[in-house]
Amino acid sequence: MSVSHFAVLSCCRPLLVPSLSRASSLRSRICCCTTLTATSTETPTSTSVKKRVVSGVQPTGSIHLGNYLGAIKNWVALQITLPYDTQQLSKATRSTAAIYLACGVDPSKASVFVQSHVRAHVELMWLLSSTTPIGWLNKMIQFKEKSRKAGDEEVGVALLTYPVLMASDILLYQSDFVPVGEDQKQHLELTRDLAERVNNLYGGRKWKKLRGRGGTIFKVPEPLIPPAGARIMSLTDGLSKMSKSAPSDQSRINILDPKDLIANKIKRCKTDSFPSLEFDNSERPECNNLLSIYQLVSGKTKEEVVQEIQNMNWGTFKTILTDALIDHLHPIQVRYEEIMSDSGYLDEVLAQGARNAAEIADTTLDNVYQAMGFFRRQ
């Protein structure tokens, strides 16, 4: 199976809400659309079937281990509304793009771009909004949680409608699969429901009567949940997801953390008082999380880790986990500095990515306009 990537860097777009302090807020996200070419040898003549994969992560805040192990690392092998600093957003966008590339996203196989540079995203969002029942959005867990904490006067409409924008990010590229963590499955379910709704309302013979090609307008994407790394938990609470929005930086390992800081965070991370180490004990969420992180960054199988940690105490394990993290992140950090020092290279990667993306996105958008009966643009 050969792999090519089509990555979307989603940001620089004022979408969301005043924070509790009434400062400006933005929902920014980075998506990655990956085309997998699978060659079948089950027939006398081998055939290739291309499948496209889309995923995402935010460029606001620091990219951490959970983003990398749960999303970006899987793209190489095959992005919730937050307050933001307007002076830092552009810098953070470039930094996030550089981290993508440093983690192994190959610009010769991937198109990485700033989402706001491809206008089809917001145009499709508006069209999808016209067919989205408000009841569907009111059920979204993340909206309910954030609006309950902030209060009605502090929550903008864009927080409610953001899942529709996420759906447009995915559906524009006729995606077959979307790698998601467990906490994002509801958003993908909404995307699938919207795709089916638009197909039923405007596709098939109705579209053909408008001189379209007929059939389905959107592919209905399937979830792709990695067996490990889909949900990396906080270093301070094994029951909470590792998050850029968590107030304590101690709760996460950032991709660009220096080795001394990594060592300090692992030394201070929450553990338990059990005498040994083990996977999959529901009473030991921190233990399972740290072992899972070690498994992923070391490249070992679960069985190999189980053998290695037999009779091992927390002090010894934290040392080998720290070393594994530092060794794994060091080449990424070195490559990141190289990319950030060559602004011309990064600018060209993003510009070419936007051109590539627009070619695909505009085709989908034109089909949607036609199927919905809009006067065709010349």
DSSP for 248-289 reads -GGG--BTT--HHHHHHHHHHS-----SS--SS-TT-HHHHH
Positive or negative: CA dihedral 18, 20, 22, 28: negative
Q: Give the residue among 79, 105, 107, 108 at the shortest CA–CA distance from 93.
A: 79
State the amino acid at position 267 in one-letter form.
Answer: K
Give the start-end residues of each E strand in the chain: 2-10, 25-26, 29-40, 47-57, 82-83, 177-179, 222-224
Q: Which of 109, 185, 206, 241 is catalytic?
A: 241
**b/e burial code for range 273-306 (CB count within 10 A of at least 16 → b):** eeeebeeeeeebbbbbbbbbbbbbbbeeeeeebe
Classify strands 177-179 and 25-26 as parallel, antiparallel or unpaired: unpaired
State in Å, rounded, how far the first CA of the chain is from the last one.
40
Give dist(CA 145, CA 163) in Å, integer.
Answer: 14
Q: Which of 73, 146, 265, 318 is catalytic?
A: 146
Q: What residues are paired with 241 via a beta bridge?
A: 233
**Tokens at 199, concatenated:** 């197909």
| 241 tagged catalytic | yes
Give dist(CA 50, CA 56) in Å, integer.
Answer: 20
**Tokens at 141, concatenated:** 């867990």
- Residues with a catalytic annotation lie at 146, 241, 244
